[in-house]
Amino acid sequence: MSERQLILIVDDEPQIQRFLVHALGASGYDTALAANGAEALAAVAQLRPDLMILDLGLPDMNGKTVIERLRADSDLPVIVLSAHDQEMEKILALDLGANDFVAKPFAIGELLARLRASLRPKRGAGAQALLRSGDLTLSRDLRQVFVGAEEVRLTPKEFDLLLALLEQPDRIVTHRQLLLRVWGPAHVADVAYLRVFIGQLRQKLEAVGFDASAIRTEAGIGYRWINPT
């Protein structure tokens, strides 16, 4: 039998703690609790959890500070819990290195799906010459994309954009992350420009019969590549 994974829950609300401990335990995970940022960082060092669920509103420090300190020496997956009206906070948390977010109040099914996606091994840059999603294949070395046997003719920027999304399937890539990677620091505010290229990329995928809804818009935040089921 496989070893149970340990989820660190960082939240100062007892009712949220109890709910998550019960729900995650019933789904086959072990849990540990931290009520503030200092406890969270200490628990990461001591317990080496497999994933952190992090509330942004902690009593001793902002959750973004926890992420920033964590990312100094750890790639531990982090799922942020945030209120619906904290859109900018979500974006900043993702830009600092959070893997995903779930808005409060949340459904446990959505949280578990985000958790499973974040726990999947990351297909890091340079790790694979070929990336595949359904019948789509991307070759890093040849800088070519095929759907089945048909090549999708992409511009260099469209290719880099698709690669950035395929490298992190089921995870949000923010507008800033995409713009910084594909166009550079001078263009990190050009969200309208990014939308045009995403539209062009979707059209080219649809033209060869690929379901372009795989590129999901996360309104006001970024995009997420959804692998075919």
- For the chain, list the domains and their CATH numbers: 6-119 (3.40.50.2300), 130-225 (1.10.10.10)
User: Can you tell me the mean pLDDT for 154-174?
Assistant: 93
Range in 16-30, 97-111, 140-154 the model is least confident about: 97-111
CA 175/CA 116 separation, integer angstroms: 23
Using the predicted structure, report yes or no on whether residue 121 has a pLDDT greater than 80: no
pLDDT: is 90 or 1 the higher one? 90
User: Can you tell me the mean pLDDT for 58-75?
Assistant: 92
Using the predicted structure, report yes or no on whether residue 171 has a pLDDT greater than 80: yes
> Model confidence at 84, in pLDDT bands (50, 70, 90)?
low
For residue 147, give the nearest of 196, 200, 212, 197 by alpha carbon.
Answer: 212
Range in 169-173, 194-198, 221-225 the model is least confident about: 169-173
Angle of helix 14-26 versus helix 108-119 axis, rounded to 10:
70
Using the predicted structure, report yes or no on whether residue 229 has a pLDDT greater than 90: no
* Percentage above 90 pLDDT, the chain: 69
pLDDT on residue 27? 94
Single pTM value for the model: 0.76
CA 61/CA 154 separation, integer angstroms: 45
The identity of residue 229, as a single letter, is: T
pLDDT on residue 198? 96
Whether 81 contacts 11, CB under 8 Å: yes
CA 60/CA 48 separation, integer angstroms: 22
What is the spatial order of strands in the sheet that 136-139 belongs to? 130-133, 136-139, 144-147, 150-152
HSE-CB for 141 with a 13 A CA cutoff? 4
- The beta-strand segments (E) located in 40-143 are 51-55, 78-83, 100-104, 130-133, 136-139
CA distances from 42 to 5, 17, 62, 181 (A): 18, 18, 16, 33
Outline where 120-190 has alpha helix (H). Answer: 156-166, 175-182
User: Can you tell me the mean pLDDT for 44-68?
Assistant: 94
CA 121/CA 172 separation, integer angstroms: 16
Using the predicted structure, report yes or no on whether residue 2 has a pLDDT greater than 60: no
* Percentage above 70 pLDDT, the chain: 94
How far is Cα of residue 141 from the mean position of the Cα atoms in its chain?
A: 25
Q: 150-152 and 144-147: which strand pairing? A: antiparallel
